[in-house]
Amino acid sequence: MGTQQQNLTPAESATGSYSLQVCAVIDETFDARSLVLEIPPTLRERFRYKPGQFLSFRVPCAGKLLTRCYSMASSPLSDSLPKVTVKRVKGGRVSNWMNEVQVGDWLEVLPPAGHFCLDEEQSVDRPLVLFGGGSGITPVFSILKSVLRSSRRPIKLIYANRDEASVIFKDELCQLIKAHPDQLHVVHVLDSVQGFLTDAQVCHLLRGSAGGDYFICGPGPFMDTVERTLLGLGEAAERIHVERFASPPDPDELLAEATLARAAALGSKCEALIVELDGQPHEIACHPGDTLLQSCKAAGLDVPSSCEEGFCGACMCVVQEGEIQLARNDVLSPKELAEGWTLACQSRPTGGRVRLKFPD
């Protein structure tokens, strides 16, 4: 199953991943399992995470190394070790592989990443409304547990599943409801009973929660329905957070795409690449054909990144000045693109001067 390794030195691999051992496996439902990962003391700071973030896994499959992201269902405030939950997908090479992992197996894991996080300092007085569809419960469950531990703000979770047998974390949710009856309200929506969630149902479920912070994760149609309804009700777009994951093409396809994109950018010369990181500007060199992320790493800047394949969004940054060429994008919405966001791992400068800003 998982790569068996005798060398326990937590060294970073050539792909940027670390070998972590599975210390517990929890059968959540008939088709979903949680994997708890042991973090060596020397890697605890590297694997410190925020509620709502994810881990990326490098998984061997038919001679290829595939990358997939799985959100953490654990909370850094209440759980001592990170836990990811993986639901089997019919025909899913990685999800089925992950569901065969056993205690003691070693997995290749990239450090935590993602921006699907709640800024409690700015929103402590607003209600928190979480929408989870199927296995999309994982990041919102992490946020839910963390807020229950850190504040008294009211939380409503609207949790959609195929049927009762598909409800992940059912027992844990029941315990949390009993422990926080005045703070946590959970509404289960079952396809087998109510049918698929509709705009009208979302409007009904949102009564009494206007002006809140909204976090949405689940199947595409589910997320589209919720987001569309919230915007139609006049909720502020900046308070609506949607987590979308896409499985990337296989490595050989990605390599072919990257080769074409690099060749197309070789004729462009960037004379000034200014990168703002943690509030500090850095002017660095940019070699023709290199991505913004490659230039940052070559200059020794520790910018956020994870999959480096254009589908996780960890390296999102804003282009404040200049022109860039974005090769692959599976995460940025049209609105985010219009606001100047790009993916550093997939972008190459096409003008003489480019200025970037990474989120603080």
pLDDT at 153: 92
β-partners of residue 144 are none
Residue 107 near residue 56 (C-beta atoms within 8 A): no
Cβ–Cβ < 8 Å for 52, 139: yes
Q: Return all residues near 110 (Cβ < 8 A) that are at least 6 apart.
A: 16, 17, 18, 55, 56, 57, 58, 306, 307
pLDDT digits (tens, 9 = 90+) for 43-66: 999 999 999 999 999 998 878 888
3-state secondary structure at position 56: strand
Rounded CA-CA distance 262/59 in Å is 26
- State pLDDT tens for residues 312-337: 788 999 999 999 989 888 788 888 89
CA dihedral 219, 221, 223, 229 (to 10 degrees): -160
- The pLDDT value recorded for residue 43 is 96
Out of 54-63, 68-77, 96-105, 226-235, least confident range: 54-63
Three-state DSSP state, 40: coil
* Partners of 129 in beta bridges: 156, 214
- Burial of residue 244 (number of CB atoms within 10 Å: 0-12, 13-18, 19+): middle
Q: Is 286 left (phi over 0), alpha (psi -120 to 50) or beta?
A: beta
Q: How confident is the model at residue 248 (pLDDT cuts 50, 70, 90)?
A: low
Model pLDDT, residue 229:
97
Token pair of 242 as six digits? 């949607």
State the Cα–Cα distance between residues 32 and 135, nearest whole angstrom.
8
Q: How far apart are CA 26 and CA 196, in angstroms?
A: 28
Quote the pLDDT of residue 122. 60
Contact 214, 208 (CB under 8 A): no
Neighbours of 152 (CB within 10 A): 11
* 68 vs 180: which has the higher pLDDT: 180
- Name residue, tokens 């996780």: 312
Helices 137-150 & 170-179 angle (0-180, nearest 10): 20
Which run of H or E residues covers position 150? Answer: helix 137-150
> What does DSSP assign to residue 231?
H
The angle formed by the CA atoms of residues 326, 332 and 335, to the nearest 5 degrees, is 105
Distance of CA 187 to the CA centre of its chain: 24
190-192-193-194 Cα dihedral, nearest 10 degrees? 70
The token pair that represents 160 in the structure block: 């959609």
Q: Work out the pLDDT band at 90, boundaries 50, 70, 90.
A: confident
Q: Which domains does the chain have, with CATH numbers?
A: 18-113 (2.40.30.10), 120-243 (3.40.50.80), 251-357 (3.10.20.30)
Length of the chain: 360
For residue 113, give the nearest of 352, 349, 343, 338 by alpha carbon: 343
> Structure pTM?
0.84
Q: Tell whether the model's pLDDT for residue 102 goes beyond 50.
A: yes
Residues 121-170: pLDDT tens digits? 666 678 999 999 999 999 999 999 999 999 999 999 999 999 999 999 99
Query: Strands of 353-357's sheet, edge to edge?
Result: 280-284, 272-277, 353-357, 316-321, 341-343
CA nearest 309: which of 245, 243, 217?
245
Give 256: exposed, middle or buried? Use CB within 10 Å, 0-12, 13-18, 19+: exposed
Q: What is the mean pLDDT of residues 201-210?
A: 92
How many CB atoms lie under 10 A from the CB of residue 217? 28
Q: What is the DSSP letter of 41?
A: G
Structure token pair of residue 123: 């929103």
- Band of pLDDT at residue 13, cut at 50, 70 and 90: low
| Residue of 360, 328, 322 lying closest to 343 (CA atoms) | 328
Mean pLDDT, the chain, as a whole number?
A: 89
Q: Compute φ and ψ for 149, nearest 5 degrees.
A: -80, -30
